[in-house]
Amino acid sequence: MANGHRLVTLPSHVDERGTLVVIDDTVTPDFEVRRAYVIRGVPGTEVRGAHAHRELRQIVVPLAGSFTVSVDDGEQTAEYLLADSGVGLFLGRMVWRELRAFSEDAVALVLASDRYNPDDYINDLSQFHDEYAAQIVTMAFL
Ligand code: TYD
């Protein structure tokens, strides 16, 4: 689970009183949540993210509304539509992500493996590809 990106189904308990969604350490088996933050009120034309993390792992959960997350893991690109609070998106180390097309009511909950650390960010896509390629070369020699 440590790397890559994938949708994760969150255990949901639905009855006539409504829905209860659980996020526990079975959902984040390779990291303990050390930080949570919320993104909301994003105009539909704005893009959030546009960076990768060298070490941080995250799960993004659409608590309300919908938005898309485009990812680039150095090898391939993909796009996820997050629109169901029972389905989150795991983002491992070294995944470039861009969040866009937020609906007016969208609320994103982000659970993260560590505290905020600006030094963990790669904010430039070509630098991300350079660092990714350098990692692959290093791993080939290990
Ligand atoms: P930013 O990284 O631009 O958000 P996004 O990746 O969603 O586009 O963060 C916006 C501001 O919030 C910026 O000044 C840094 C600050 N910030 C914190 O202080 N703590 C945090 O945990 C995060 C994620 C951001």
6-58 pLDDT tens trace? 999 999 999 999 999 999 998 888 899 999 999 999 999 999 999 999 999 99
What average pLDDT score do residues 80-88 get? 98
- What is the distance between the alpha carbons of residues 98 and 32, in angstroms, rounded to a whole number? 24
The residue whose CB lies within 8 Å of the most ligand 1 atoms, and thus the one to mutate among 67, 116, 120, 123, is 116
Q: Letter for the amino acid at 104?
A: E
DSSP state letter for 101: -
pTM for the full model? 0.95
pLDDT band at 3 (very low <50, low <70, confident <90, very high): confident
In the prediction, which pLDDT does 1 show?
A: 54
Protein residue with its CA nearest to atom 21 in ligand 1? 116
Residues 104-128 have pLDDT tens digits of 999 999 999 999 999 999 999 999 9
The string of DSSP codes covering 45-90 is T--EEEEEESS--EEEEEEES-EEEEEE-SS-EEEEEE--TTEEEE
Distances (CA, A) of 80 to 6, 51, 91, 92, 94: 9, 16, 11, 15, 17
Q: Which residues are the active-site residues?
A: 51
Residue with the smallest CA separation from ligand 1 atom 13 is 118
CA–CA separation, 52 vs 127, rounded Å?
A: 10
Instruction: Tell me what pLDDT residue 133 has.
Output: 94
* pLDDT band at 2; cut points 50, 70, 90: low
Q: Cα–Cα distance between 120 and 37 in angstroms, integer?
A: 17
